């Protein structure tokens, strides 16, 4: 079925708008953790892994990544793909995973029940001498587990649990989760962690570099002429884009507290405000509290 001509034209007219909206989105607005790869390296002892039968089911090895309380984070079944792993052999299998591996505290290795061909068939036992698991994220890799259990696993029995040295803690999952809301210090990223105990962590951004005579302004999210504060009162001069009406006197700056003085000195750069003193309590402010303007010199 084809679209009506009018519908086609309407869709075509929206394409430039959609492209513009996508272009205006921050580069990390919808970036999520893309996951990575897990590489399992098994070393079989004297007793081989029989593998599946013609039906595709059987004594096959599976691995589950679990939390400290036994909750499964990721499960990988039939890693041998129904093939036999001979005694004394080393096999390497790679699998991808989406998202994160947060709070993984242990690895459980199990052998599935074989579909028995006859009444004399017995569940298989497999000797696992060594298991190494490597995590790859964004081109970097980390060893998740390197254990030598030298254990005999019987099909259908309880899984073998191998604890990690410490639970994995993904300190972030997306770039957005690292955003501190500031512009001038650059864009924070969720990256592969540099220290053990986590796979991902937040990395500080690169501060915005401005040209000569300019500085990054957090309020406007852009570079602008550097502001000058000659008197060191924390307020930049009006000439440099600030709001200090007198950048040669540290007693005068916006937000300062007005006081009553004989000279009518303006402390807050606002002639419309004044101090508050009513010694005789007649409800009228002392005339001395009126701001006459800049100090007389």
Question: Do 55 and 156 have their domain in common?
Answer: yes
Question: Do 43 and 148 have their domain in common?
Answer: yes
pLDDT in tens, 236-295: 887 777 888 887 889 888 888 777 776 677 888 877 676 666 666 766 666 666 665 555
Whether 237 and 229 have beta carbons less than 8 Å apart is answered as: yes
pLDDT in tens, 198-226: 788 899 999 999 887 788 888 788 887 77
* Lowest-pLDDT range of 70-84, 100-114, 270-284: 270-284
Domain CATH for 150: 2.60.60.20
Residue 3 has pLDDT above 50, yes or no: no
* Position 282 in a domain: yes
Question: Do 121 and 102 have their domain in common?
Answer: yes
In terms of residue numbers, what domain contains 239? 227-297
Number of domains forming the structure of the chain: 3
Question: Do 103 and 142 have their domain in common?
Answer: yes
* Position 138 in a domain: yes
Phi, then psi, of 20 in degrees rounded to 5: -65, -45
Question: Do 202 and 84 have their domain in common?
Answer: no
Mean per-residue pLDDT of the chain: 79
Residue 108 has pLDDT above 80, yes or no: yes
216-220, long-range: CB within 8 Å, 24+ apart, which pairs? Answer: 216/183, 216/184, 217/184, 218/182, 218/183, 218/184
Question: Do 233 and 122 have their domain in common?
Answer: no
* Position 3 in a domain: no
Strands (E) in the chain, as ranges, are 36-44, 51-52, 58-59, 61-66, 72-76, 90-97, 106-111, 125-137, 140-147, 151-154, 160-163, 189-192, 200-203, 214-217, 222-225
Question: Do 192 and 103 have their domain in common?
Answer: no
Question: Do 84 and 146 have their domain in common?
Answer: yes
* Lowest-pLDDT range of 90-104, 156-170, 237-251: 237-251
Question: Do 81 and 45 have their domain in common?
Answer: yes
Question: Do 54 and 155 have their domain in common?
Answer: yes
* Position 68 in a domain: yes
Question: Do 133 and 158 have their domain in common?
Answer: yes
């Amino acid at each position: 079925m084809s679209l009506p001509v009018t519908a086609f034209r309407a869709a075509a007219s929206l394409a430039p708008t959609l492209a513009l909206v996508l272009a205006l989105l921050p580069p990390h607005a919808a970036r999520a953790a893309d996951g990575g790869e897990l590489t399992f390296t098994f070393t079989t002892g004297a007793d081989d892994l029989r593998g599946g039968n013609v039906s595709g089911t059987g004594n096959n090895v599976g691995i589950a990544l679990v939390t400290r309380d036994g909750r499964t984070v990721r499960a990988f079944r039939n890693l041998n793909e129904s093939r036999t792993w001979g005694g004394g052999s080393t096999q390497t299998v790679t699998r991808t995973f989406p998202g994160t591996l947060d709070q993984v505290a242990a690895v459980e290795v199990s052998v599935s029940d074989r579909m028995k061909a006859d009444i004399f068939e017995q569940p298989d036992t497999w000797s696992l001498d060594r298991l190494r698991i490597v995590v790859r994220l964004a081109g970097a890799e980390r060893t998740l587990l390197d254990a030598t259990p030298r254990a005999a696993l019987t099909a259908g029995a309880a899984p073998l649990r191998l604890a990690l040295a410490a639970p994995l803690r993904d300190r972030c999952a997306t770039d957005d989760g690292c955003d501190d809301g500031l512009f001038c210090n650059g864009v924070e990223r969720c990256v592969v962690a540099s220290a053990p105990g986590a796979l991902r962590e937040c990395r500080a951004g690169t501060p915005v570099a401005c040209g000569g005579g300019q500085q990054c302004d957090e309020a406007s999210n852009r570079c602008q002429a550097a502001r000058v504060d000659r008197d060191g009162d924390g307020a930049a001069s009006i000439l440099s884009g600030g709001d200090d009406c007198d950048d040669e006197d540290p007693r005068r700056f916006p937000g300062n507290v007005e006081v009553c003085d004989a000279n009518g000195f303006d402390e807050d750069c606002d002639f419309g405000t004044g101090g508050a003193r009513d010694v005789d309590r007649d409800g009228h402010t002392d005339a001395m509290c009126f701001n006459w303007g800049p100090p007389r010199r």
